[in-house]
Amino acid sequence: MAIDSLHGAPLPPLDELMGAARVVSIPTRTRFRGISVREAVIFDAPHGPAEFSPFTEYAFGESSRWLAAAIEFGWGETPAARRDTVDVNATVPAVSAGSVADVLARFPGCRTAKVKVAERGQSLADDVARVRSVRAAMGADARVRVDANGGWSVDEAFSALTALAEFDLDYAEQPCATVPELADLRARLARAGIPMRIAADESVRKAEDPLAVARAGAADLIVVKAQPLGGIAPALAIIEEAQLPVIVSSALDTSVGISMGLHLAAALPDGALAGACGLGTVALLDGDVVADRLLPEGGALRVRRPALDAGALERYRPTPDRERWWQERVSRCHAALTEAG
């Protein structure tokens, strides 16, 4: 049976989606999450631009949720905003300690930084040096977080977070891959008297049951991304049911995808946000698809939906084979959404 709606948005016919789609390939300023080019499909949709940008290794079933989010944002209605601006954190990739100052300079006014750790091929000493450099650059009153993307075992996470505790971390994001591991680590840290909050990211957005982490008491807060969860409405539903403080983050989106995250953060009830959101990552891209880029100003982003820049869409158009690859991906994800209905 065909899907009639996606959280209030009709499922457009495939030819309508394809007619609105433009594929882009934008270089990153530094290697991030193992990539140096960010590819995405941008839809010039009836209610404003929308983005479909699951990472290339994601399967069609998982990626179809990202397409559902794009359809909701581009063809549906966005919830009313409760705030005009959203505080954002600086994001520091797994760069050398000597490169930290240059990265932080791209996030003017930000008083919170999230630092990538547990990078494959690097050591705990690299992580400690990077975090030390961030703390020194930002001062004692700033918030510093680390994000391991599930890269540590419980033993490795306990050792790493014990070593990093001297930097007074705000929290550690997804230090281990599974919910039981997060629960075990959280208990071990508490027994050791190490005050370290645990945030769940992948255990929410990549899980069959995104609420399992809350039920297991495995995290102190959750990190929520609109695209992987199927859009703003399903993300809001998860946040409401989880009853945990939340950080809204991004997946190295263009300003179009960031706008979706901004509208999610702006719709949250007062008191729900656990601090600055991870929505400043356009600063890590060496280009964009809009002229009015969503870059931090005074540590915050103004909630808005920038118009597409036709020249930029053409400038960052990829090779024909990459265009075909993404068009096929849209087609197969559209079929998955149709079949799911």
CATH 3.20.20.120 fits 85-302, yes or no: yes
Report phi then psi at 208, rounded to 5. -65, -35
Which residue out of 114, 186, 225, 305 is catalytically annotated? 225
- Over residues 77-120, the pLDDT tens digits come to 999 999 999 999 999 999 999 999 999 999 999 999 999 999 99
Identify whether 206 is a catalytic site residue. no
From start to end of 5-89, where are the E strands? 21-32, 35-43, 50-52, 85-87
**SS3 call for 10:** coil
CATH number listed for the domain at residues 14-78+310-340: 3.30.390.10
Q: How far apart are CA 255 and CA 51, in angstroms?
A: 9
- What is the signed CA dihedral for 263, 267, 271, 274, rounded to 10 degrees? -30
Q: What is the pLDDT of residues 300-321, one digit of tens each?
A: 999 999 999 999 999 999 999 9
Q: Is the pLDDT of residue 33 over 80?
A: no
Distance in angstroms (rounded) separating the CA atoms of residues 116 and 124 = 12
Catalytic residue list contains 114:
no
- Please check if 147 is assigned to a binding site: yes
Residue boundaries of the structural domains of the chain: 14-78+310-340, 85-302
Share the mean pLDDT of the chain. 95
Q: Active site residue: 22, 38, 114, 116, which one? A: 116
At 35, the pLDDT band (50, 70, 90 cuts) reads confident
Domains 14-78+310-340 and 85-302 share a fold: no
Closest residue by Cα to residue 257 from 8, 24, 93: 24
pTM of the complete model: 0.94
